[in-house]
């Protein structure tokens, strides 16, 4: 799927802004056919955003089921004769789309875009009414999974139910990313696939173009590569080809140089469609104990993140996005993981430009009870339906993100119950699908299991492990960290002979809470914990990265172990640094990229 871009042949109309919104409190909207007429008794709601924190109504924040969004728009007369596409960046977790009272599309999955051609339903030159029904219910066939708990005891009213899930972030809902209309010609560039190679000082850009439409066999394709200053490097005709770049500038964190591949579709000597793609020439591979970028070892310094901020929830906001990248640069990071779901493609566009290495993760989180008496990989829970959806998500994720130079690794899940017997066959299918679709990047799965109990570590290229010594185990015992962590990491390498990234470690920390000697939840405790972890990493040459949990404090469901959310951030939710931020800045700025 190509990200919408304006070119000399393509136009974009932004439908973001203030929409009309209504909570379907009794979930009768379909039965009463609300899509056939303008919403009654609607309130105003910004798009993109999570709807949960926008109002003062807790019944809206905690609603389970459908909510309805609606807005009107005009399609200009100049769009006659063009293909018109509606693209929703994401709607969490299920969506149905209606245009002028007719259903035009539906989608399952809350973290990837979906689009539909609307020519058959749209009225050009007239007002159009767009209705999007969003549903936040999670079941075992979803990613992430969840289940509805119905209470049938004397202490709850009849019919009382809650949405339960096993992941540790709030189940924000709504239209979280931009809603756009864009045009193409009726015969159009459907997709472009770019792969890059390096041969000495020479860069090689291999491309393949897919064209669709009734005249696709009558068109010629021209692909032209430009440097950053707009100078033409080469022009190639045909649906696929190879462009060699002498003395190429390779994309890397210290110099995220982007070339521009311009693809033009020509019919009867006229350009009918055009699309451009930023291209970073770089290679990624795992050999022995190391991860190599452009043939040089690279060490990942960074943080796991969340799409989360005050009021907006998971709604994409370019202000927050650029602020976060500036903080990542300031602290000396070179990487992050899209924990625990694919982020907005706008974030990956920025990572390409800023030069951050990204572990791109599927939304397979919450597949673990952390209780070995409660099984996940059983027919009543994670089953064939879950697997089919997981495979579909992987296909869509790679289709969307395959051309981003920032994406250096695919992660298929976070903290699944990989110690269960059913986990091996399940993740073998998923990982094989990744390898079939993309042979240019390593694949991983983020473990919470221990090295002797996991069934799946042999399937991946890099061992990624989350570990919280002196927090969830032996809380308060900072003196045990180095002994326990070093013993475990050595065991991972002994068993699997693969490089290791510690993808989560950290401590909940209340900004401004101080203690000497360090006590849990104090800023001093967070700093002391990190330093002890780092001493272990520095002793082990097979450790190739450190991603602290978390970049910033974030919202979670209400429970007694969380104080207004998860407080493991190095920054507060308002993006102010804690003491640990300065510790990390000093460490990471002094480290070489290859440690």
Strand order in the sheet with 259-267: 232-237, 220-226, 259-267, 270-279
* DSSP character at residue 503: E
Q: Based on the residue annotation, tell me whether 150 is a catalytic residue of this protein.
A: no
CA atoms within 13 A on the CB side of 462: 31
| Phi, psi dihedrals of residue 87, rounded to the nearest 5° | -125, 125
User: What's the Cα-to-Cα distance from 405 to each of 228, 294, 333, 348, 401, rounded to whole Å?
Assistant: 15, 11, 17, 9, 9
Specify the DSSP class assigned to residue 270.
Answer: E
Tokens matching residue 70: 């609606």
Given a contact cutoff of 8 angstroms between Cβ atoms, the answer to whether 166 and 368 are in contact is yes
Question: Which residue among 70, 252, 415, 488 is the active-site one?
Answer: 415
- ∠ at Cα 293 (292, 299), nearest 5°? 65
Q: In the structure encoding, which two tokens stand for residue 580, read together?
A: 């640990």
Q: How would you label 566-578 residue by residue, b for 16+ Cβ within 10 Å and e otherwise?
A: bbbbbbbbebebb
Nearest to 191 by CA among 211, 216, 205, 206: 211
Cα–Cα dist 371/367, whole Å: 11
Burial 73-111 (b: 16+ CB within 10 A, else e): bebeeebeebbbbbbbbbbbbbbbbbbbeeebbebebbb
415 catalytic, yes or no?
yes
Q: Could you write out the three-class secondary structure of 272-332?
A: EEEEEEEECCCCEEEECCEEEECCEECCEEEEECCCCECCCECCCCHHHHHHHHHHHHHHC
Report the C-alpha gap between 52 and 54 in whole angstroms.
6
Longest CA span, the chain: 78
Q: How many Cβ atoms from other residues are within 10 Å of residue 159's Cβ?
A: 8
Residue 509 tokens read as 């920390």
Token reading at 153: 């005891």
Dump the DSSP string for 512-526: T---SS--TBSHHHH
> Are 446 and 466 within 8 A, CB to CB?
yes
Of 274, 420, 488, 504, catalytic: 504
Radius of gyration of the chain (CA): 25
Which DSSP string do the residues of 537-566 spell out, in sequence order? HHH-TTEEEEEES-SB-B-----TT-SSSB
Residues marked as catalytic: 415, 504
């Amino acid at each position: 799927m190509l990200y919408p871009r304006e070119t000399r042949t393509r136009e974009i109309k932004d439908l973001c802004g203030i929409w009309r919104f209504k909570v379907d409190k009794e979930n009768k909207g379909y039965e009463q056919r609300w899509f056939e007429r303008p919403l009654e008794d609607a309130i105003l709601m910004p798009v993109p955003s999570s709807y949960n924190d926008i109002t003062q109504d807790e019944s809206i924040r905690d609603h389970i089921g459908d909510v309805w969004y609606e807005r009107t728009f005009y399609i200009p007369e100049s769009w006659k004769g063009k293909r018109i596409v509606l693209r929703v960046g994401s709607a969490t977790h299920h969506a149905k789309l209606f245009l002028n009272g007719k259903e035009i599309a539906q989608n399952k999955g809350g973290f990837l875009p979906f689009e539909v051609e609307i020519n058959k339903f749209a009225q050009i030159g007239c007002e159009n009414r767009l209705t999007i029904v969003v549903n936040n219910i999670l079941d075992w066939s979803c990613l992430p999974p969840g289940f509805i708990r119905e209470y049938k005891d004397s202490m709850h009213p009849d019919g009382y139910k809650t949405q339960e899930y096993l992941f540790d972030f709030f189940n924000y809902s709504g239209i979280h990313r931009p809603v756009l209309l864009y045009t193409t010609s009726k015969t159009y560039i459907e997709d472009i696939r770019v792969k890059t190679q390096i041969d000495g000082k020479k860069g090689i850009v291999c491309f393949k173009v897919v064209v669709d439409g009734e005249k696709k066999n009558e068109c010629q394709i021209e692909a032209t590569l430009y440097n950053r200053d707009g100078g033409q490097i080469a022009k190639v005709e045909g649906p696929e080809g190879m462009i060699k770049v002498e003395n190429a500038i390779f994309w890397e964190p210290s110099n995220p140089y982007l070339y521009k591949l311009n693809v033009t579709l020509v019919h009867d000597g006229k350009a009918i469609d055009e699309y451009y793609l930023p291209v970073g020439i770089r290679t990624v591979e795992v050999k022995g104990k190391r991860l190599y970028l452009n043939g040089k070892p690279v060490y990942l310094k960074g943080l796991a993140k969340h799409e989360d901020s005050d009021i907006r929830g998971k709604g994409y906001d370019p202000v927050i996005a650029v602020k976060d990248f500036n903080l990542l640069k300031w602290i000396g990071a070179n990487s992050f993981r899209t924990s625990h779901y694919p982020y907005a493609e706008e974030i990956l566009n920025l990572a390409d430009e800023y030069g951050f290495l990204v572990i791109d993760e599927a939304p397979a989180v919450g597949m673990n009870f952390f209780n070995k008496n409660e099984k996940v990989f059983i027919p009543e829970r994670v089953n064939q339906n879950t697997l089919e959806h997981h495979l579909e998500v992987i296909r869509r994720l790679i289709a969307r993100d395959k051309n981003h130079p920032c994406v250096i690794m695919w992660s298929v899940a976070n903290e699944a119950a990989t110690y269960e017997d059913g986990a091996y066959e399940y993740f073998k299918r998923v990982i094989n699908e990744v390898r079939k679709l993309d042979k240019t990047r390593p694949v991983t799965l983020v473990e919470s299991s221990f090295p002797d109990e996991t069934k799946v570590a042999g399937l991946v290229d890099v061992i990624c492990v989350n570990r919280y010594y002196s927090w969830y185990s032996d809380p308060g015992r900072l003196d045990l960290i180095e002994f326990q962590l070093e013993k475990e990491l050595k065991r991972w390498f002994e068993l699997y002979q693969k490089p290791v990234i510690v993808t989560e470690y950290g401590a909940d920390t209340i900004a401004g809470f101080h203690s000497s000697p360090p006590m849990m939840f104090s800023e001093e405790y967070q700093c002391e914990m990190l330093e002890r972890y780092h001493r272990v990493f520095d002793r082990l040459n097979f450790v190739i990265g450190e991603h602290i949990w978390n970049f910033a404090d974030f919202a979670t469901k209400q429970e007694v172990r969380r104080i207004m959310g998860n407080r493991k951030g190095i920054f507060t939710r308002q993006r102010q640094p804690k003491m640990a931020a300065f510790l990390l800045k000093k460490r990471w700025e002094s480290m070489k990229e290859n440690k």
